[in-house]
Amino acid sequence: AVLVLLGPPGAGKGTQARRLEERFGLVQLSTGDLLRAAVAAGSPAGLAARAVMEAGQLVSDDIVIAILRDRMAAPDTRNGVILDGFPRTDAQAAALDALLAETGQQVTAAISLEVDDAAMVARVAGRFTCAACGEGYHDDFKPPAVAGRCDRCGGAAFTRRADDTAETVAARLEAYHAQTAPLIAHYRRRGVLETIDAMQPIDVVAESLGRIVVPGT
Binding site for ligand AP5 (CB under 6 A): 7, 9-15, 31-32, 35, 52-53, 56-59, 64, 85-86, 88, 92, 123-124, 127, 136-138, 141-142, 172, 198, 201-202, 205
Specify whether the CB–CB gap between 193 and 181 falls below 8 A. Answer: no
Q: Enter the DSSP assignment of 59.
A: P
Check: CB of residue 193 under 8 Å from CB of residue 110. yes
Shortest spacing between CB 18 and ligand AP5, in angstroms:
8
Active-site residue, from 13, 18, 19, 50: 13
Q: Is the backbone peptide bond immediately before 87 cis, with ω within 30 degrees of 0? A: yes
Return the residue of 136, 143, 155, 210 that touches Zn ion, per CB under 5 A.
155
Going by C-alpha positions, the residue among 169, 167, 147 that lies closest to residue 158 is: 147
Work out which of 138, 152, 161, 186 binds Zn ion, going by CB under 5 A: 152
**Is residue 142 among the annotated active site residues?**
no
CB of 153 to Zn ion, least distance (A): 3
Can you tell me the distance from the alpha carbon of 12 to that of 41, in angstroms, rounded to the nearest whole number? 26
* The one catalytic residue among 18, 19, 123, 172: 172
Beta bridge partners of 159: 129
Cβ–Cβ under 8 Å, residues 70 and 37: no
CB of 126 to ligand AP5, least distance (A): 6
CA gap 10, 163 in Å, rounded: 12
| Residues 144 and 158 sit within 8 Å (Cβ to Cβ) | no
- Is 217 annotated for ligand binding? no
Look at the alpha carbons of 139, 141, 142, 146 in this order and tell me if their dihedral is positive or negative. positive
Cα maximum dimension of the chain: 47
**159 marked ligand binding residue:** no
Q: Establish if 135 lies at the interface with Zn ion (CB under 5 A).
A: yes
Which CB, 135 or 163, lies closer to Zn ion? 135
For the bound state, the minimum distance from the C-beta of residue 134 to ligand AP5, rounded and expressed in Å, comes to: 11
Q: Would you call 78 a catalytic residue per the annotation?
A: no
Does residue 51 belong to the site contacting Zn ion (CB under 5 A)? Answer: no
Catalytic residues: 13, 88, 127, 161, 172
What residues are designated binding site for ATP? Answer: 10-15, 127, 200
What residues are designated binding site? Answer: 10-15, 31, 36, 57-59, 85-88, 92, 127, 130, 133, 150, 153, 161, 172, 200
